[in-house]
A and B are shown apart, each in its own frame.
Chain A
Amino acid sequence: MDKQILAVCAMDKTKVGGGAPIFYAADQDELSEIAMMISRVFGAAVHDLHNGVLIIVKH
């Protein structure tokens, strides 16, 4: 598999679930910050699902 979701960042707990690690944020700024931190650790890209959820994907 060449693409993989490494982590999910969300504000609303009802929007997310499942196998990937989930990180909750209090607001939009924190959400972006967490996503950026994680993506830099893994060298992965951040994608926005437009519902307050960011996924970090290794391409």
Chain B
Amino acid sequence: MKYLFTLIIAILGGFLARLYMLRRDYRQYPSYPQGWAIHLFLGFIGGSIGAIIVPALLEGEYSAVSFLLLAASQFREVRNVERQTLSAMESTEMVKRGTAYIEGIARVFEARNYLAIWVALSVAVTSELLVGLGWWRTAVCGVVGVLLTVVLVRLMQGDKISDIATVELTDFRFEGALVVVGETVMMNVGLPDARKVYEERGLAAIIRPNGPNAKATLANLGQMQAIAHDVSSMIGVYMDVGEQEFIPMVRRNPSVGSLHVLMVASEKDEAAFLEAIRRVPVLEGAIRKPLTSAAGKLVD
């Protein structure tokens, strides 16, 4: 087995890269441990595909290479599975993720498997190039794998709300039954008791976009829903099943393009509330760049 070393180190590289990309944070997704087991195994398969391509090419086994590339295309299914799982769980969420967020998560999970393949492939190539180097080969392969993983993960990291907008605390008031933030009517709260809860525990923030591109991005309904969902999952929401009055609201001020967030958090902590909004990811599917078009530049 003259390729044994290459295979082992490249598969390990792909697998470890996938492990590094799995993160446990407030979203708890993928869930631990079963979700992790699934994705680590997929990472192992991805690593194997990336690793085996190099020896197959060197041996001139082009049909094997074709089959491996065909196998790699099966990772498309990962996105479908993730989408189905998250959509099925959507009805159990107090504050919905929204289809745009689900689509974004599914896309990330598919992409990470391809990254694992890239890492395994480059480690395998390095290993084969440095065949004569003895044990140094291990070290160089390790460095290549780590560097590539870090660079790819860095490149794949999307923006957060704090990167495209400024978030500030703001006041809200009641005009009769209407909750108003600035000049934007957020919702109609009909029950006096519910209005009292808002007055005691309500939090409101304004998200001001940094430019026309950010303004267009924030105008996406999926992005607005993602803000509501993520902030609720980070700082907790004061509501029970069926209490629709207390669903976090994200509304847009059409005249300036800013977003207003109003919610009743389980703990009234203003700093945590603002930090939660700042850390909401900007959805890949929500990003718009009107400034790259001729018409968009004219408007600006």
Contacts and interface: CB of A to CB of B under 8 A. Distances in A.
A15 interface: no
Contact of B242 (A32, A43, A47): A43
A44 B241 CA distance: 10
Given A32-B193, A35-B190, A45 B241 contact: no
B85 interface: no
Nearest to A41: B242
B194 A46 contact: yes
Contacts of A36: 191, 193
A42 B191 contact: no
Contacts of B244: 39, 43-45, 59
B275 interface: no
Nearest to A9: B190
Interface in A4-58: 32, 35-36, 39-40, 42-48, 50, 54-55
Majority secondary structure, A binding face: mixed
B55 to A, nearest CB: 56
A46 B242 contact: no
Interface string B224-267: 00000000000000000111110100000000000000000000
B176 interface: yes
Nearest to B175: A50
A47 B193 contact: no
Interface residues of B, number: 15
Contacts of B245: 45-46
Size bracket, chain A contacts = 10 to 19
Contacts of B190: 35, 45-48, 54-55
Nearest to B245: A45
B226 to A, nearest CB: 19
B96 to A, nearest CB: 11
A39 B191 contact: yes
A23 B188 CA distance: 20
B192 interface: yes
A32 B192 contact: yes
22 contacts: A32-B191, A32-B192, A32-B193, A35-B191, A36-B191, A39-B191, A40-B242, A43-B241, A43-B243, A44-B242, A44-B244, A45-B244, A45-B245, A46-B194, A46-B245, A47-B188, A47-B190, A48-B188, A48-B190, A54-B190, A55-B190, A59-B247
Interface of A: 32, 35-36, 39-40, 42-48, 50, 54-55, 59
